[in-house]
Amino acid sequence: MTRTRIKICGLTRAEDVALAVELGADALGFVLYPGSPRFVSLAQLKGLIAAVPPFVTTVGLFVNAARDTVRAVLDEAALSLVQFHGDETPEDCVGFGVPFIRAARVTASLDLLEFKRRYHAAQAILFDANVPGFGGAGRTFDWSLIPAELAPQAVLSGGLCAQNVAEAIARVRPYAVDVSSGVERDKGVKDEQRMRDFFTAVRSADSSFRAD
């Protein structure tokens, strides 16, 4: 049975975490990159994930962070996964005792099959738009650039919202979708109706595949 997993990223408020859990989010993303408007401190992170129930994946997003920084966060916060969203090498991503996701900022010149081979230890590759600021800009990219053989492990990101996520799922058939700005009313502040509409759109897309 087809079920596209959903990750809500850029969470900064407890009420948004609670709503994402209520709606059935598979993963919750927290930005630990100080250059982002969605940045949360370690103290905020610990508070936000304290009430997350079992079997909901918590993901810490880092951008070119020092290894000691990543370790310090993992020592204090119960994160399930680490997401590397900068220029980290394969060697930079391993050795932390938790699985990792590697983000690929997609362009026509980036060989995504080679990228996946380089980051073979990654649990998944997150495909995002190549924008300034390392994501969260609400811009899509050419989904046809994603090779079909990568779709089963793909996390599709970049400008997704309730209005386009069904088309994205139909074209890519990713394992999961990742949304941040597409369900916001301000940076880091989620909009309840947009979140509900996004989940509805994903589930409707999944149902259409089952009907086929």
Among residues 92, 128, 161, 178, the one annotated as catalytic is 128
Domains of the chain: 5-211 (3.20.20.70)
**144-193 pLDDT, tens digit each:** 999 999 998 899 999 999 999 999 999 999 999 999 999 999 999 999 99
Q: What percent of the chain has pLDDT over 70?
A: 95
80 pLDDT above the threshold of 80? yes
Q: Which two tokens mark 204?
A: 């409707």
Query: 35-39, 110-114, 208-212: which range is least confident on average?
Result: 208-212
Task: For the chain, state the CA radius of gyration.
Answer: 16
Per-residue pLDDT at 139: 83
HSE at residue 111, side-chain half, CA atoms within 13 A, is: 5
Its pTM stands at: 0.94
Per-residue pLDDT at 208: 82
CA distance 71 to 151: 30
Q: Which residue has the higher pLDDT, 136 or 179?
A: 179
Residue 143 Cα to chain centre, angstroms: 16
Q: Clarify whether 9 is annotated catalytic.
A: yes
Task: Please list, in sequence order, all residues whose beta carbon lies within 8 angstroms of the beta carbon of residue 35, skipping any fewer than 6 positions away.
Answer: 63, 133, 134
Phi-psi region of 75 (alpha: psi -120 to 50; beta: other; left: phi over 0): alpha
Residue 44 to residues 15, 29, 93, 150, 197: CA-CA distances in angstroms?
A: 13, 13, 24, 34, 27
Q: Which two tokens mark 173?
A: 């058939």
Among residues 9, 16, 92, 161, the one annotated as catalytic is 9
Do residues 77 and 42 lie in contact, with contact meaning Cβ atoms separated by under 8 Å?
yes
Residue 182 to residues 166, 169, 196: CA-CA distances in angstroms?
A: 13, 15, 12
Per-residue pLDDT at 135: 55
92 pLDDT above the threshold of 60? yes
